[in-house]
Chains A and B, each alone.
Chain A
Amino acid sequence: MLQELKQSLIASAWFVFLTFPLLAVRVNTTEQLVEWRLMNMLWVALATFFLSYLWRHALARKQARTKVAEDGSEKQSRTRLLMEDMSFRYKAMGVLLVFALVFPLIFDSYQVNIMNLALIYVVLGLGLNISVGLAGLLDLGYIAFFGVGAYSYGLLNHHFDLGFWAVLPVGGILGCLFGVVLGFPILRLRGDYLAIVTLGFGMIFQIVLQNWSDFTMGMAGISKIDYPGLFGMDMGIPGTIKYIYYIMLALVVFTILVTMRLRNSRIGRAWIALREDEIACVAMGIDMARTKLSAYALGAFWAGMIGVLFAAKQAYINPASFGFMESAIVLSIVVLGGMGSILGVILGAFILILLPEYLRAFAEYRMLAFGAAMVLMMIFRPQGLISNIRQKYEYQGNLKEETDNG
């Protein structure tokens, strides 16, 4: 106990030292003012004192857990058993779908609009989940494909007056095409290099958007993009928001269905195998190039499609929406929710997008919390909130008898 106290005190003192200049002092060099905020130090001392206690316990628990897991006596939790129960899953999905369908009828346009935003991130998360979660290709420039979709609608609508429905598949295909073109040269790269190159691509994309004013209209962005039309009906703003909501919902359901089927398909299992062990996977006769490219391109496809919808929803786009921070948000959705898990990613998107919207007071701490959450998740729960359930095939007959006979 005394030992614990001592360790916490040391940690507390260390963090007070660490945060002292940044937290306690603020200088204004133009007006020659120094602002001392020594009260902050007290909070840091108190907070780190208790947090360090928690931290050590969490680490100790984690270690104990890995020991148990090594013994092979891991018990299945009840929620987990419930999730594996198919009839429960279908019932829950039915309830959720009905709720989603009546949602815009119950709530006002403001709520529906926020939900639209969250649904965009659901689709983005599910798309990125294909490359990061399933195939293990860390993509830090994912938002560029989203930008490709948004700009293809923005530009085609601006110059050629093309409608939303015509551009929707075009956006998806263009995103996909970009994915293949960018994916080709980087197939050989290992995980961390891949992350940096995709980050580079993302940055280049944004810089080009900002500076190529003749084509992309630069920083000013594209405004007055048409809302999606429904046989030329005029629905007004609330009607349009609801209409967009239903399009979005349809797209989300479509995405969920496709990724769910993909995950259990031949190519999906190839992705997972590639993520687990590249060399073994290639040795089993899986075409690495094709598998990686397809993961990349399919992820990009969803981003392109939802980009078109994003442009239609906002009616205005500019390069600021397609920066690294957006990529980081989508990545933290996937990481927080659980890499590879569809339900987890959906939950992650709702938590990360809706929580800051409703807790306005904490909105400015949003990115701080995201960053901390990414670190903590990796350390304590790398599988995410809801871990991906691998399909298991159990042998039906009596194994012992057969070996006895054989």
Chain B
Amino acid sequence: MDWSYFLELFLSGLTRGSIYALIALGYTMVYGIIQLINFAHGEIYMIGAFVALIVAGICTIYGFTGVSVLILAAIAAVIYSSAYGYTLEKIAYRPLRGAPRLSPLISAIGMSIFLQNYVLLVQTPDFLPFPNLIPDFAFMEPVAHIIGSPELVILVTTVVTMILLTLLIKKTKVGKAMRATQQDMSMARLVGINVDRIISLTFVIGSSLAAIGGVLVASYIGQVNFFIGFLAGVKAFTAAVLGGIGSIPGAVIGGLVLGWTESFAAGYVSSDYEDVFAFGLLVLILILRPAGILGKARKQKV
């Protein structure tokens, strides 16, 4: 057993997994509230990465560099992704509330195809290089051969975001309203919760998490194109299902399990079939335990 290789795979799985977890949270929150797989969520992530690229590109071309650019790009990405998420819900999902289950799903697939091609047409079909915005920290030097600064930034950001999100949902009034809407929408409406606004808010929060994920991945991997959202979206959905869809800690656990599975499978078995392992895991978990690791099996009532 080669331990340093193992550690390397473990850390790369952890990094990947935390990104998946960030995106998976958007799926889980939306599914928890309106029982819809928001197929276009991956595209929101991609748009976040693109906006960050554009902002960072303008900044670097006009001579700004460093952490401030990263922060500026991230803020722009969050604003735009949440605006897209909000609009997406309003156009494609709200008119379909109460329609048969298949309708919003097909609408979501349509929206995903639309957004992909929108970016393809107005930007470019090619891969664009993304400037490396995460600086190398001096204090990381002793351990740089094990874990680099980008990985550290990704991990820290993920952990901080998770804590903030948990606090928001558990402690604030808005979070309470969200939980109430999740449990029973019509009852929530009766006690005076503006359900439409809560749903919009869910989309906004989910989209901004995806945008953070998008910026981090783009500067970690170093390139973006219009198609990155699709694969990331499907994998993040896998993570959400794996952990139990609708559950926030579940999304984190699911993301990590998926990240490690991919990383170890690619490292020890074959990197050509990396995606096959991810999808295989998805198929297996849905067949064997559709409720996921932390999810509660719902009894079907007649």
Binding site for B on A (CB under 8 A): 14, 17-19, 21-23, 25-30, 32-34, 40, 59, 62, 136, 138, 140, 185-186, 188-189, 191-193, 195-197, 199-201, 203-204, 207-208, 211, 279, 324-325, 328, 331-332, 335, 364-365, 367-368, 370-375, 378-379, 382
Contacts and interface: CB of A to CB of B under 8 A. Distances in A.
B33 interface: no
A21 B55 contact: yes
Contacts of B92: 375, 379
17 contacts: A18-B87, A22-B47, A22-B51, A26-B54, A29-B53, A29-B57, A59-B95, A138-B105, A140-B109, A192-B36, A196-B234, A197-B286, A199-B234, A203-B234, A279-B302, A331-B109, A375-B114
**Shortest 10 CB-CB contacts between residues of A and residues of B:** A374-B110, A371-B114, A27-B57, A371-B113, A200-B279, A368-B117, A378-B107, A375-B110, A211-B272, A367-B117
Contacts, number: 175
A41 B116 CA distance: 20
Interface stretch (B96-104, B145-153, B156-164, B202-210): B96-104
A256 B159 CA distance: 56
B106 A22 contact: no
Contact of B110 (A21, A192, A365, A372): A372
Contacts of A372: 110, 114
A27 B116 CA distance: 18
A201 B35 CA distance: 23
Contacts of A29: 53, 57, 60-61, 128-131
Given A186-B286, A207-B275, A328-B109, 13 more contacts: A18-B80, A18-B84, A27-B53, A192-B101, A196-B37, A197-B287, A199-B234, A332-B110, A367-B113, A367-B117, A374-B110, A378-B99, A382-B103
B295 to A, nearest CB: 12
B237 interface: yes
Contacts of B117: 365, 367-368, 371
Contacts of A186: 283, 286-287
Q: Interface majority SS on A: helix, strand, loop or mixed?
A: helix
* Most-contacted residue by chain B among A30, A197, A200 (CB, 10 A): A200
Given A21-B76, A207-B276, A371-B111, A34 B57 contact: yes
Contact of A27 (B61, B99, B286): B61
Task: Label chain B's interface by main secondary structure.
Answer: helix
B300 interface: yes
Given A21-B76, A25-B54, A197-B283, A191 B96 contact: no
B84 A203 contact: no
B287 A203 contact: no
B119 interface: yes
Interface of B: 35-37, 47, 50-51, 53-55, 57-58, 60-61, 76, 80, 83-84, 87, 91-92, 95-96, 99-107, 109-119, 121-124, 128-131, 230, 234, 237-238, 241, 272-273, 275-276, 279-280, 282-283, 286-287, 290, 300, 302
